[in-house]
Structure 1
Amino acid sequence: MPICQIHLLEGRTVEQKRMLIAKITEAMFEAIGAKPETVRVILTEMPKEHFGIGGKSAGELGK
């Protein structure tokens, strides 16, 4: 059972997250032959103030 954990900044729509899960599942099947029903995808969203780039938060940088 392959598990893919993705950390991303908050702000995506439900539809975008659903599409990401579907595409990651498809990629696991194509790359390693994992049956789609065995693939697990974990999305962890974080506030922009909890992610730093070059000493500044993503919120400060307008990301």
Structure 2
Amino acid sequence: MPLVDISIARGRTPEQLRDLIANVHDAVEHSVGAAPENITVIVREVEPRYWARANQTVAERASANK
């Protein structure tokens, strides 16, 4: 019963997130042979101002690259 928990910065379209779920689901099914009905994929969207790496938020990094 694989559980895949994905955290991603908010800002993708619903279609992009649905595509992500489908591709991850397929990868798990094919790589470990899990039955499709046993695969769970969770996508957690995080506001860019609350996601930081190297003491810089995603929002700050995006502003600096404009």
For normalisation by structure 2, the TM-score amounts to 0.89
What's the % identity of the aligned pairs? 33
Q: Which runs of 4+ in 1 moved over 2 A?
A: none
What CA deviation, in whole Å up to 9, does each residue of 1:10-34 have, x standing for no partner? 0011111111111111001111000
Shift of 1:37: 1.6
Residues paired across the two proteins, number: 63
Instruction: Please list every run of 5 or more consecutive structure 1 residues that lacks an aligned counterpart in the other structure.
Output: none
Instruction: Give the corresponding residue for 2:58.
Output: 58
Residue 21 of structure 2 aligns to a residue whose secondary structure is helix
Could you tell me how far apart the structure 2 residues matched to 1:53 and 1:3 are? 25
Q: 2:18 & 2:55 partners in 1: Cα distance?
A: 32
Alignment TM-score, normalising by the size of structure 1: 0.93
Residue 42 of structure 1 is matched in structure 2 by 42
Q: Structure 1 or 2: larger helix share? A: 2
Q: CA RMSD in A?
A: 1.2
Tell me whether 1:4 sits opposite 2:4 in the alignment.
yes
User: Letter of the aligned partner of 2:11 in structure 1?
Assistant: G
Deviation at 1:54, TM superposition (A): 1.5
**Where does residue 18 of structure 1 map in the other structure?**
18
Q: Which runs of 5+ in 2 are unaligned?
A: none
